[in-house]
Amino acid sequence: MSFKNLNLNTPLYNALDDLGFTSPTPIQEQAFNVVASGKDVVGIAQTGTGKTYAYMLPILKNLPFSKQDNPRVMVLVPTRELVVQVVEEIEKLTKYMNVRVLGIYGGVNINTQRQAVAEGLDIVVATPGRLFDLAVSHVLPLKSIQKMVIDEVDVMLDLGFRYQLLNIFDILPERRQNIMFSATMTDDVDALITDFFTEPEKITIAVSGTPLENISQTRYNVPNFYSKVNVLEHVLGDKETFNKVLIFVAYKKMADLLFDKIEALFPNESCVIHSNKTQNYRLRSIEQFREGENRILIATDVMARGLDIDHISHVINFDTPHFPENYMHRIGRTGRAEREGQAILFSTEAEQEWVTAIEELMQMEIPLKEIPDAVSLSTELIEEERIQNKEHHNPIKRRDDDLAGPAFHEKKEKNKKINQGGSYKREIAKKYKKPKSRGDKNFNKRNKK
């Protein structure tokens, strides 16, 4: 199967030739005719399988030239970095087409985006929060949207965008094509499909948890943070083999701590990305890693979905993720486009249950390797690894803050009265037996009788 079989137009063929693409991936092949037909579509495919082109190729093929200012295609993605990437991919495909594309996301000056919207566009790629802000302020009219794409919808729901999505659905035209792509099918995703999609056709390429065949996996049992750093120092010392390494950590504080340790061991070779970093810092870190200026990128799970960085040699899970699906999305950053990839998992004794859950999801065991003799194991623990000392007996500390203290007593009878508001009208009514008001004399006469 080649792209010639998809009956694309000449501008798209020229763009694909420039990119060096000749054959579609399975999700691109199976989704093309369904998306092109105008039916609602739900695509389930692993990360790194080319989902962006799977929905953009048929959309662009059938997108006629128009001078109207309002967008006709809307693509929603969960993160700012993914907005930038999708815009870049669409611009590559539309190199020989007259199509206006704009990326919208939070964390930057909204007035600049208002001005860009006013200049007119055909395709808007956005995060839900900023898109809704522009839509409700009537800066970005959505009345002409013909096709709505939600990419990485499961991540979007995990990040708390459910209500923004529902609000966006309320202001979209009822007659539109809904296209949804995800790596996993969860109950929340299924509920969203039931409520807003019309008889969607589902395309499933791989069951969630199916390991990518071209990724070799290994794991180490390591007792603590500093021992993991020592193992990292040992493996990263082979700079020729570990030439482009993505390291995932559990949370932002650990990302910064590990970055400081790695930077001390390998100066000017690493960068870090997480949600506390500014937008420019995050984009710069990704670009430096993509271009090879830094061979090591330390990231939280904000990087686990969607971002397409070529030629990552290794993905190292510095911690074991609590949810086994996250492990699949992490290692999917390597071994892309049918290349060989390597994935390494570090796990402590406390993380073994999560290792078991990952292996059960993949229906395979991850080979366990012995820690090299040259690596020393540390006994030093970071704050999160230390045993928290609990007070067994503290006579000063109250056992239950919800219990009433010794000062509690019943209210006096006069304080139990219910406040009925101002009493002036009630007292006047009792005294005069008629409404005291000006104006309607006939009403007062009737009540006097």
Task: With a cut of 60, say whether residue 443 has pLDDT above it.
Answer: no
- Kindly report the pTM of this predicted structure: 0.70
pLDDT at 339: 76
Tens digits of per-residue pLDDT, 411-442?
Answer: 777 777 666 666 666 676 766 665 555 555 55
Mean pLDDT rounded to a whole number for the chain: 85
Tens digits of per-residue pLDDT, 31-71?
Answer: 999 999 999 999 887 766 788 999 999 999 999 988 888 99
From-to residues of CATH 3.40.50.300 in the chain: 3-204, 215-380
Overall average pLDDT of the 224-232 stretch: 94
pLDDT at 259: 95
The class of domain 215-380 in CATH terms is alpha beta
Report for 16-25, 201-210, 327-336, 404-413: range of highest mean pLDDT = 16-25
SS3 letters across the chain: CCHHHHCCCHHHHHHHHHHCCCCCCHHHHHHHHHHHHCCCEEEECCCCCCHHHHHHHHHHHCCCCCCCCCCCEEEECCCHHHHHHHHHHHHHHCCCCCCCEEEECCCCCHHHHHHHHHCCCCEEEECHHHHHHHHHCCCCCCCCCCEEEEECHHHHHHCCCHHHHHHHHHHCCCCCEEEEEECCCCHHHHHHHHHHCCCCEEEECCCCCCCCCCEEEEEEECCCHHHHHHHHHHHHCCCCCCCCEEEECCCHHHHHHHHHHHHHHCCCCEEEECCCCCHHHHHHHHHHHHCCCCCEEEECHHHCCCCCCCCCCEEEECCCCCCHHHHHHHHCCCCHHHCCEEEEEEECHHHHHHHHHHHHHHCCCCCECCCCCCCCCCCCCCHHHCCCCCCCCCCCCCCCCCCCCCCCCCCCHHHHCCCCCCCHHHHHHHHHCCCCCCCCHHHHHHHHC
CATH for 3-204?
3.40.50.300
Overall average pLDDT of the 158-168 stretch: 84
